[in-house]
Amino acid sequence: MTVPTKCTVLVVGGGPAGSFAAAALARESYEVVLLEADKFPRYHIGESMLPSMRYFLKIIDFYGKFNEHGFTRKNGAAFQFNRSQPEAYTDFIAADENGYAWNVVRSEADDMLFRHAGACGAHIFDETKVMAIQFAEVNGLAAINGSNGHAEKKIGKPVSATWTRKDGTSGTVSFDYLIDASGRQGLLCTKYLKNRTINPNLKNIADWGYWTGGAKFAPGTRMEGAPYFEALEDGTGWGWYIPLHNGTVLAKKKQMASPSSKDFYISWLGLAPEIKKLLVHATLDGNIKSASDWSYHASTYAIPGARICGDAGCFIDPLFSSGVHLAVLGGLSAAVTIAAVKRGEVSEERAMSWHSKKVTESYMRFFLVVSTGVKQIRSQDAPIIRDNDEVGFDRAFDIFKPVIQGRADADSTGTLSTEDIHKTIEYCFNALMHISPNNALIDKLKSVYDLGGNDEIKAKAITDLKKTPTVEESQELKYILGFVEDMFTIDNFTLNSIDGLVPRTERGMLDLEVAHNAAYHRY
């Protein structure tokens, strides 16, 4: 089959973000072309999923097949921040025995999702690399910034793409819409918009290997077989131990900066004694792999005629297994907002704003939680996410639960309240800055969250707040806004509405609709 010369939506990248978006739109009978540069199946790191994945897969009728594949069931995850404290455990099945996630072999999981997009009606092509995007002038619309509404460089509207295949063929495909899910390559962000920002506090290096014969973590307890996270004893990084269904375990080491070699990788095991015990009878398979895990974000995730999702737009250190969750959520948001415009329900400008804010909102939730966890690792003896007289970190993980289990974005049970999200974000603010929950600045910020009205009202309130801080508040305010100013334009951290619109995800009804008219169809 040859690549079509025209389609409604071109998706660049066949990873979770691109394949999910392609499947969702193809199920709405749009002509979708999905181009992937690599040959599938292909290797990819990022094996640990969140429970939210079950809900997302149900939207595209893929949960049953995925669940039956045999991936290792993940009932929770254990975290050891400090040797003198008991590990914390986030339990996925405490309230629902079917609330589990999976540890997957990504080559298998991604290929399954890629093929499912094809089964849904998308035209899928691997070994097909997009080389360039062609743009047309567009009047009246500019990129919508997910952080503060400022327009990006006007590059026009993408209208076609040139591609090449490994068999030597090449061509051009025109389209109405482009979804950039090109991974860290970030076609639009790095080549055209040039709007990617690396976070200097999360510039890490990861080394990992696959082992056979590793032991189960915590046998005979409720944590048996769980993925296990362990902070290195010197506070320079952390390691993962993730069991997979093919009989291997992933042992991964993360440090703020380090050389990468097999000898160095083996040496870090001495700083992670529990993981070392689990591997005492195990054998390392193959070579050590290494990659930079630098966290980054873009200043916008939408331009006229295009949406950016997954690692193409933003990446957060996968301390809490957020990668696939954020990718799939972004893919769904891209599909929903494109379908809404095609239906004539909302303007392109409003849909662009909704997508950019949705991606930013979800990214920043994880960013705050990850930043808090990393600060605890770097200062292991400091009571950052626990009180001085508190034993362990279970309270912190109970507060983190809505974010690190993905429930903030995919609470199909409807049991998660806005207050749960407020509590998580407030806790992270306090932990990052070591300020009291009764601090007056926190009260002022909460009053901004609770404002009614539109984004302009909230933006003005933030501007006014900047003008009148006390001496003590000034530095704290600067610190907070450096992380989360973009969040204050998002409607009150609510779970079902951005800019007064909520998504519908039922097949045949993919759309955005006015919140007060909705029968609560959100994801």
* Domain harbouring 332, CATH code: 3.50.50.60
Whether 193 and 262 share a structural domain? no
* Domain stops at, among 294, 315, 340: 294
Whether 60 and 131 share a structural domain? yes
Q: How confident is the model at residue 507 (pLDDT cuts 50, 70, 90)?
A: very high
Whether 65 and 110 share a structural domain? yes
**CA 17 to CA 469: how far, in whole Å?**
41
| 521 domain residue, yes or no | no
| 370 domain residue, yes or no | no
Whether 45 and 127 share a structural domain? yes
| 519 domain residue, yes or no | no
| 81 domain residue, yes or no | no
* Domain harbouring 248, CATH code: 3.30.9.100
Whether 182 and 220 share a structural domain? no
Whether 206 and 230 share a structural domain? yes
Whether 41 and 154 share a structural domain? yes
Q: In terms of residue numbers, what domain contains 462?
A: 386-501
Mean of all residue pLDDT scores within the chain:
79
Q: How confident is the model at residue 391 (pLDDT cuts 50, 70, 90)?
A: very low
Whether 65 and 174 share a structural domain? yes
pLDDT digits (tens, 9 = 90+) for 177-197: 999 999 999 999 999 999 998
pLDDT digits (tens, 9 = 90+) for 236-259: 888 899 999 988 888 876 665 555
CB proximity list for 420: less than 8 A, separation 6 or greater = 402, 408
| 461 domain residue, yes or no | yes
Whether 173 and 234 share a structural domain? no
Torsion, Cα 434 440 445 449, to 10 degrees, reads 120
- Would you say 112 and 65 are in contact if contact means Cβ atoms under 8 Å apart? yes
- Would you say 459 and 319 are in contact if contact means Cβ atoms under 8 Å apart? no
Question: How many Cβ atoms from other residues are within 10 Å of residue 509's Cβ?
Answer: 12
Q: What share of the chain is helix, strand, coil (3-state, %, to 5)?
A: 35, 25, 40
Whether 38 and 146 share a structural domain? yes
CA angle at 16 for the pair 149 and 257, rounded to the nearest 5°: 75
* Domain stops at, among 294, 313, 334: 294
DSSP string for 191-235: III--EEEEEEEEEEEEEEEEESPPPSSTTSTTTT--EEEE-TTS
Q: How many helices (H) and strands (E) does the chain have?
A: 13, 19
* Domain stops at, among 246, 262, 294: 294
pLDDT digits (tens, 9 = 90+) for 144-168: 655 444 455 678 899 999 999 989 9
Residue with tokens 């609470």: 411
Q: How confident is the model at residue 456 (pLDDT cuts 50, 70, 90)?
A: low
Residue with tokens 């567009």: 138
Q: Span 472-478, mean pLDDT?
A: 51
Whether 43 and 160 share a structural domain? yes
- The per-residue pLDDT for 112 is 98
Whether 322 and 468 share a structural domain? no
Structural domain count, the chain: 3
Query: Phi first, then psi: what are they for 440, rounded to 5°?
Result: -65, -30
